[in-house]
Amino acid sequence: MRAINDLDRRLFNRVALSRLRGAHPVLPRLTRAANHGVLWLGTAAALAATGDRTARRAALRGVGALALASVSANIVAKGLTRRPRPVIDQVPAVRRLLVQPATTSFPSGHSASAAAFATGVALEAPLLGLVVAPVAAGVIASRVYVGVHYPGDVLAGAALGAGLAALTLRWWPLRGTEPA
């Protein structure tokens, strides 16, 4: 476990010291937009407002998966692991969030929610999933970029979110493509 933590810290420091052209101010804004699921709930509302049945189902599955992932990551997993957040001394001040999160670091709740919503949408509507996935990937990357998570935190959160979205298929099957 120590080797994984050391690798995580080295990768975090590498990102902290990097200067990604074009990433600022996009990633800090993106990470703030995803606070409390606002970005995903707004996206779901836009999908539902299209009036398309498939888009509505995608929005509903995405929000359901988001709810599962958020509770699992932010309440259950964080309560069990209690991993401290990274020290952000090397992260440039311009990239840091104005208010640092008070919760523990592992797994990333933002990443779990992003992956859950994107996977849920993609299960119902693969083309819509292709539109949502890059935004979700941006949110996931933004959490390391702004200095609030280690890379392992976001990978675990994304895996948890995607897995829980897939788990929704157990009790809510995909709509058949054949007419009734």
Q: Does position 25 have pLDDT exceeding 90, yes or no?
A: no
Burial of 61 (0-12, 13-18, 19+ CB in 10 A): buried
Residues 6+ apart with CB under 8 A from 11: 150, 151
**pLDDT at position 110 over 90:** yes
What is the pLDDT averaged over residues 131-158? 92
- Average pLDDT on 122-131 reads 95
> Helices 126-145 and 109-124: crossing angle, nearest 10°?
170
Give the residue with greater pLDDT, 168 vs 178. 168
**Coil vs helix vs strand at 65:** helix
Residue 16 has pLDDT above 60, yes or no: yes
d(CA 104, CA 86): 10
The pLDDT > 90 percentage for the chain reads 51
Residue with tokens 């309440």: 75
How confident is residue 132, by pLDDT bands cut at 50, 70 and 90? very high
Say if pTM beats, i.e. exceeds, 0.85. Answer: yes
Domain boundaries of the chain, sorted by first residue? 61-174
| Side chain identity at residue 80, one-letter code | L
- 61-174 adopts what CATH topology? Vanadium-containing Chloroperoxidase; domain 1 (1.20.144)
Residues 55-107 pLDDT 10s: 999 999 999 999 999 999 999 988 888 887 787 777 777 677 777 777 888 89
H/E segment holding residue 146: none
pLDDT beyond 60 at 165: yes
Q: Is the pLDDT of residue 177 over 70?
A: no
